[in-house]
Amino acid sequence: MRILVTGGAGFIGSHVAEAYRNAGHHVAVADVVSGADRTPSGIRCHRVDVASEALRAVFDEERPEVVSHHAAQANVRRSLADPVGDAATNVLGTLRVLDLSVRHAVRQVIFSSTAGALYGEPKAVPVREDDPILPASPYGLHKYLGEQYMAYYRRTHGLNTTVLRYGNVYGPRQDPATEAGVVAIFAEAMLGGRRPVIFGDGAQVRDFVYVADVADVNLRVLGRTLPQPLHVGSGRGTSVNEIAERLRALTGAAPAPDHGPAVPGEVHRIYLDVSRIREALGWQARVPLEEGLRRTVEWFARRGD
């Protein structure tokens, strides 16, 4: 199968592209960065902004049967500071991908959405896919608009669209400077002998899911018709304080993290009901948190060396 992974030079996208390649598919990547250090070997990377007209040439050349759309501005804080820039990538980029997919007779578009930023502060946890959508940031709002465009193109053009709502994905290759993952930020700082900053009291709860498990979901949905959004998470909540303590033990970091002011627009407590994806795909997260953190720390340690 010919698959185009947008954002395939990024953290999650590179793992997804690698999983597709390892399964024997012909894979190409479209990303705004060159991706020399994260695009898996044997996969061509087209340096292009998905919101630009230049994406058309990539579709013309690669003739994808499936598009895995992972290109995104993925930083909640950045979306609060620059909502227009966030919309340019997360709304207009998604619309460009869908328009070209219809024009090039793509069979399926898989969309990486968010769970952590979609529901606002939930009244109860675990959150279900049918719970009210109340995003507290432009990032969450724009991801939901992307979901609505997926549904529109399914209804009006018959395009097979699949929406995956990710929890807090962590693992090797995450960039602490741009992708805002707390595990990556803490691991790099602790290995470098620096004190990471916990924004707020650290009691914030998230659903952490290892990136290899996320890549596995992207393999399983190929060719499937799944009209309802699916949560991709562990189904368990873990506090930021607990993440920090586990990483201190794994890195041997002596000083405790500093604390800073809480960030407006960030949810305090959320984790996901994953029963729908278990029933639809027979999937559940397989990598335990302790093992995933260990692998992540080892990767950052090797990169530092």
What structural domains and CATH numbers belong to the chain?
Answer: 2-168+209-233 (3.40.50.720)
- What CA–CA distances, in Å, run from 12 to 24, 25, 154, 214, 269? 19, 18, 25, 8, 23
Residue 267, pLDDT score: 84
Find residue 4's DSSP bridge partners: 28, 67
In the 3-class helix/strand/coil scheme, how is 249-262 assigned residue by residue?
Answer: HHHCCCCCCEEECC
Amino acid 204 reads Q
- Rounded Cα distance, 305 and 303, in Å: 5
Average pLDDT rounded to a whole number, residues 191-196: 93
In the block, residue with structure tokens 């390892």: 22
Tokens (6 digits) for 73: 């501005």
Q: What is the pLDDT of residue 249?
A: 96
pLDDT digits (tens, 9 = 90+) for 95-122: 999 999 999 999 999 999 999 899 999 9
pLDDT value, residue 45: 94
Active site residue 152: no
pLDDT at position 176: 86
What is the structure's pLDDT at 180? 67
Whether the predicted pLDDT of 34 surpasses 80: no
Residue with tokens 């058309």: 56
Mean pLDDT of 228-234: 98
Tell me what the mean pLDDT of segment 224-242 comes to.
97
Confidence of residue 42 (pLDDT cuts 50, 70, 90): confident
Which range, of 5-19, 140-154, 251-265, averages the lowest pLDDT? 251-265
Contact present, 179 and 197 (Cβ < 8 Å): no
Q: Is the pLDDT of residue 188 over 80?
A: yes
Confidence (pLDDT) at 178: 67
Nearest to 109 by CA among 73, 159, 145: 159
Query: pLDDT tens digit string along 116-132?
Result: 899 999 999 999 999 99
Region 83-90: what's the mean pLDDT? Answer: 95
Give the pLDDT of residue 105: 98
β 238-239/205-206 pair status: antiparallel
What residues contact 110, with CB distance under 8 A and at least 6 apart?
Answer: 66, 67, 68, 69, 161, 162, 164, 218, 221, 222
- Provide the pLDDT for residue 77: 83
Name the active-site residue from 20, 119, 139, 170.
Answer: 139
Examine the pLDDT at 36 and tell me if it is beyond 60: no
- The per-residue pLDDT for 210 is 98
C-alpha to C-alpha distance for 105 and 60, rounded to whole angstroms = 11
Using pLDDT thresholds of 50, 70 and 90, give the confidence band for residue 263: confident
Q: Structure pTM?
A: 0.95
Question: Counting every residue, how long is the chain?
Answer: 305
Burial class of 132 by CB neighbour count within 10 A (0 to 12, 13 to 18, 19+): exposed
CA 85 from chain centre, in angstroms, equals: 18
Residues whose CB is less than 8 angstroms from the CB of residue 219 and which lie 6 or more positions away in sequence, other chains included: 19, 20, 23
* Backbone dihedral angles phi then psi of residue 188, each to the nearest 5 degrees: -65, -45
User: d(Cα 38, Cα 27) in Å, to the nearest integer?
Assistant: 14
- How confident is residue 76, by pLDDT bands cut at 50, 70 and 90? confident
151 confidence band (pLDDT: 50, 70, 90): very high
Confidence check: pLDDT of 192 > 90: yes
Alpha-carbon distance of 24 to 2, in angstroms, equals 10
pLDDT of res. 213: 98
Report the pLDDT value the prediction gives residue 225, as an integer from 0 to 100: 98
